[in-house]
A and B are shown apart, each in its own frame.
Chain A
Amino acid sequence: MPRKQTNLMTESPCFPPRTADINFLTSEERTRISNAARTERDAGNSRRRAAQWHDDTLRSLLRHKTDDRSRLWLTDLLQNLTADYGLGWSDIARMVGVSVPAVRKWRHGGDIAPARFNNLARLAAFLDLLTDEGIADPVTWLNLPIDDLDLDDRLSAESITKKEVYIAGGIVDLLAYAKRHISCAELQARYATAVQRQAGSVTRVIRAPDGHLSIVPTK
């Protein structure tokens, strides 16, 4: 009875083969499988190393750019974010992680803690890097959903926006996405839980604590 020929190319994702299958193979085939598995492992490691290297490079790039930006006066930095990039005060507050009144105080000459100033500078640096990547309008790019494919202006209720990814801490991942190091699906998968968008506009009726019924969006 002819033995089953193992196609290393098409079956490579199944490595290592089950022990029962190995018993049917010649030693030469076992060696080939073993080598292919090692190659696969090495390739995986290389990919991981490359991804790590890319991340480190992006982080370093962001750090340098942030350092450049932090040399500006606070008013110039805010001016850059609003007048040049088109961010609103409430957007800045959310992306930097402070309250809107705090940003209002900065506008009117109030004190800013060094860590907050650094966050502001990093936001400006991030937008600069997106521009360097050929994104003509980085703020609009951030406002759109990750998987925005149609040209309609409606926001998809299920998909998360890149701005939400930024707020969830995915700055380096967004840069990697802009550089096409990671796919839209990967970015969506990494941040779907963190962002927790509510799907659709389905509602349900619940009994509220006051004893009456209420209509609420499905969570």
Chain B
Amino acid sequence: MNTPLDAPRSSDDLYLARAADTGDVSVLRPIMTGDVFRAIDIPGVECVEGDEERFGMVVSHPCSMREGSTLKSGVQVIRVVKCDPIGLDEWPKRYYDRMPLPDLTVIADPDDVSADDPEAEVQVRTQEGAHAALLDFRGRVPSTRLDLSQRVACLTDEGVSFLHQRMSHFETRYAPEIDKLMDACRAVFAEIELWENWNETLVDRSRIGGSKKLQAELDRVGEIFDRTLSEKRPIPNKKNGWYTLRDDLKLTRKHAGARREILKLLSEHSGALSQAGLT
């Protein structure tokens, strides 16, 4: 049968982190497409069955959701509801109006994981954890309402690409290839990953009490990170012309070098802070 959409090999491939798995999703991870938050009111979206927890998923595109390191004043969010589990074999064939989110809030018993291989994928799916993001229940939520302590899950790069494929097909009936979607967002995925590294290294959570102070610290590191990536750097052995590390992350030939350079600069920042006794 012709099926336009794809499915992940395992539903665990979808999630980078889940509160159900680790207790909470790290607040040091910058907000990204596919993040699910609890207690979100979406303007213009009426109540729907299964929305008791008022889960909402950020669907703004990663390339356009920020200005510099700051989220735009509003982001696009869709409603996530509890529903019956959707098998992976059903992803391509049905439910074109939603993004299935298996085991979003409940993860299979850890005893099901082989003791020999702690990273083995758990194939047992739970009834209670099954959710879906409804693509048609969408609205613009003020970004100040996205509370990092209420984040329930983050998607992997692949998970975001599955979301994009289903969104594109829902809106236009065109289903782009998952690999192409991942290629198109590769630089911004890398940027978010590196930014999280910066936060992990430069934000000392033990010294910061209260979510406002933490947010201010995250904003400060975010600004430094953004400035580092946007800084115009002279092209070696050339009189004119410049480049930025953000540009280099987009180029296949420069990507790995840009990553190394960004981590080197992070190491320098970290060293400078240690010397100043700030971390």
Contact = CB atoms under 8 A, between A and B. Distances in A.
Interface of A: 82-90, 98-102, 104-105, 110-113, 115-116, 137, 139-140, 143-144, 153, 155, 198, 201, 203, 206-210, 212-217
B193 A209 contact: no
A143 B251 CA distance: 10
Given A207-B2, A216-B175, A83 B264 contact: yes
Contacts of A99: 10, 12-13, 119, 121, 156
Given A101-B21, A206-B2, A215-B4, 13 more contacts: A86-B256, A86-B257, A86-B263, A99-B121, A100-B16, A104-B16, A137-B257, A140-B255, A153-B253, A208-B3, A215-B174, A216-B175, A217-B175
A96 to B, nearest CB: 10
A155 B267 contact: no
Nearest to B267: A83
Contact of A116 (B15, B96, B119, B179): B119
Contacts of B252: 140, 143-144, 153, 155
Interface of B: 1-4, 10, 12-13, 15-17, 21, 92-94, 96, 116-119, 121, 156-158, 169, 172-177, 179-180, 183, 189-190, 193, 251-260, 263-264, 267
A214 B16 contact: no
Contact of B94 (A112, A115, A153, A209): A209
B193 A102 contact: no
Contact of A90 (B12, B175, B189): B189
A128 to B, nearest CB: 15
B2 A208 contact: yes
Given A104-B16, A210-B96, A112 B190 contact: no
Contacts of B264: 83
B157 A90 contact: yes
B190 to A, nearest CB: 6
B17 A101 contact: yes
Nearest to B260: A86
B21 to A, nearest CB: 8
Contacts of A88: 189-190, 193, 259
